[in-house]
Chains A and B, each alone.
Chain A
Amino acid sequence: MSTTTSGQPAPEKDSPTSAVSGAEIVFDNVVKTYPGQSTPAVDNLSLTVPAGKIVMFIGPSGCGKTTTLKMINRLHEPTSGTITIDGEDIRSKNATELRRTIGYVIQGGSLFPHMTVEENIALVPGLLKWDKKDIAARVEDLLELVGLDPSRYRNRYPKELSGGQQQRVGVARGLAADPPVLLMDEPFGAVDPITRQRLQDELMSIQEELQKTIVCVTHDIDEAIKLGDRILLLSEGAHVAQYDTPQEILSNPADEFVEDFVGSGSSLKQLSLSRVDELELQQPVIASVGDEGSAAAAAARAAGQKDVIVLDARRRPVGWYSLGEATRMSRLPQESHEDISVVDRRATINDALDSMLASSHGGVLVTGRRDEFLGVVTFTAVTEHIRSTSESSPS
């Protein structure tokens, strides 16, 4: 890879269709020393988090990344220095009010177990004294946004949800009052790898729509590369080891510390930089919920396909059957009894590969905004892409 790209922040995800709703966050000479400790946890940090971007904080444990995050919503107060959001010093209003304007999402969702999903999401709008009707409508929107059917999940208690669902509600709760800034503290640390990948995809598609400023602490370099517009790599004392785009960090590590941290497999990690939507998607013949199974199978067979893909009224994939399976169904049902392999178009090729290996169809469905079906990625397309990139970029 040539060094000419180094000046340009490459994977900018600006979309012309939606406006940036995030706000810029600026750290100016911020120091945090905990009482009774001689060395500061955060030592003179200056940093600008651009509006509408995702910045991933990563570094070895104890490097001060979480402390830095929690100073933004004043769960920790800086010993000296200033932090501004959208040009305004965060100390200009009281901490409680400030926090209501900043979304906060933590590991496992940290939902309140004695409140329903709706009550959890409605908390901050309630604190802000929104109108009851507006709150109800907002809860509904947010549940749709994070891919949970409102009528089904609104009145459930957290313990009645899976880990991934709880985390989705956690994200919805963070977004409830439409804050310009969203802070995430290892948001997907508590779920299994497949669910984590799904949640990451969803976060990216939500971000594409909302353009918030997101600051996210993680300990997973792959997650940082996948989600981050920029990565802030910190060493002990929150010293900035490198603050750059994922490309730059992978291809031009600033020093040995960064190189070690990013790891040796960085040419493989380049796979995490390519997104599914860079691949050619196949456009198969599709069927709709309620279609006659045998007719759908016949149509698919005529098009030379080995399976039937079923979409619901909003073009979300709900079923993926073999021709034989489809033929045995009188009507194609709304819900499939098995998980179908779906990735978001912003998912990395790595993710797609993982999902494919778990799928019985030798491919994976790709969805776009609000889970709308876009096409199919096949194993062949992925291997083709790997071959072409490894030929074009000698390392």
Chain B
Amino acid sequence: MSDATRQVSTVDTGVEDRKTTIRLLIGLPLLCAVILGGWSIWRQTADLDDIEARQLAWGTILELTRQHIVLTLITTAVVLVTAIPAGILLTRGSFRRYSGFVTGFANAGQAAPVIGLIVLLAIWLGFNTRTAVLSLAIYGFLPVLRNTIVGLQQVDQTLVEAARGMGMSAVDVLRRVELPLAMPVIMAGVRTALVLVVGAAAFATFINAGGLGALITTGINLFRYSILVSGAVIIAVVALLVDWAGRVLEVLLTPKGTT
């Protein structure tokens, strides 16, 4: 074992214990329902001025939410189709030696504030959704890459050798043994990426790429706390629900027999 691999094994992969997972699976939707319910009651009964009423119209909020979620999903899809193959590649044969360097580089890159990334890319590529997706995807890349590598490295090597010894091809071993066994860790990385992206998508509004961040900027610019707080609450609820969906996916995709 080299130093690099030993260090990787101390990385917190974000895999939760079973009890916490179950409680969160039940608790999160309940929590969100309570918050949303409370907010809806306030929304229906509060005395709103013209500006507030326009910004907090149900149609507007639904449209912003839709944009926010679409942005999150597209970005996550981009992250999945790039980071997982990259992680697989970095655990194969001669590419293995670069895995320490790449994760180190990605770790350092993670220190870049997402808002800086968005602004820099916007100066280069303009104010649009493509820029937002690209910068958010760069931001969400590391957790998936790192967990894919760690997950694959954690697979018991005797099982891999057993699989090879039984006559599985390299592709078979990867597809039928390594990936299923690495799935819990990879999925935890995907969930982490989802949460990062759904939160950072709030900045998309700064470069006219839509999303719920608009409520916050409007709230601050017009000094309307009702809009500001509404935006914050809804973004938080959407983020919690996306996290919940990620957890559901995680449970569904974890092979039976491994927990």
Q: Is B7 an interface residue (CB 8 A)?
A: no
Task: For chain B, residues 57 to 102, give those with C-beta under 8 angstroms from any C-beta of chain A.
Answer: none
State which of A70, A106, A127 has its C-beta within 8 Å of the C-beta of B167. Answer: A127
Cα separation A107 to B163 with both chains bound (whole Å): 14
A-B contact count (CB 8 A): 60
Closest residue of chain A to B183 (Cβ to Cβ) is: A114
Min CB gap B166→A, angstroms? 5
Q: Is B8 an interface residue (CB 8 A)?
A: no
Min CB gap B235→A, angstroms? 37
State which of B167, B181, B255 has its C-beta within 8 Å of the C-beta of A96. Answer: B167
Taking CB atoms, residues of chain A closer than 8 Å to B164 are: 75, 99
Q: Is the CB of A99 within 8 A of B181?
A: no
Q: Is A301 an interface residue (CB 8 A)?
A: no
Q: Is the CB of B168 within 8 A of A112?
A: no
Q: Is the CB of B166 within 8 A of A123?
A: yes
Q: Is the CB of B257 within 8 A of A113?
A: yes
A60-91 CB mask vs B (1 if < 8 Å, else 0) is 00000000001001010000000000000000
Given A110-B158, A114-B257: A75 touches B165 (CB 8 Å cut-off):
yes
Tell me the interface secondary structure of chain B in the complex.
Answer: helix
Cα separation A159 to B172 with both chains bound (whole Å): 23
Q: Is A280 an interface residue (CB 8 A)?
A: no
Closest residue of chain A to B173 (Cβ to Cβ) is: A96
Cα separation A96 to B257 with both chains bound (whole Å): 27
Number of interface residues of B (CB under 8 A): 20
Q: Is A98 an interface residue (CB 8 A)?
A: yes
Min CB gap A213→B, angstroms? 16
Q: Is the CB of A114 within 8 A of B162?
A: no
Closest residue of chain A to B181 (Cβ to Cβ) is: A114
Q: Is the CB of B167 within 8 A of A112?
A: no
Taking CB atoms, residues of chain A closer than 8 Å to B255 are: 114
Taking CB atoms, residues of chain A closer than 8 Å to B165 are: 70, 73, 75, 99, 104, 106, 183
Cα separation A116 to B180 with both chains bound (whole Å): 13
Other 9 A-B pairs with CB < 8 A, given A96-B167, A99-B164: A96-B169, A98-B167, A99-B167, A113-B258, A114-B255, A123-B166, A123-B168, A157-B256, A157-B257
The 14 sampled A-B contact pairs (Cβ below 8 Å) are A75-B165, A96-B167, A99-B166, A104-B165, A106-B161, A110-B158, A110-B162, A112-B162, A113-B257, A114-B181, A116-B257, A123-B168, A124-B167, A127-B168
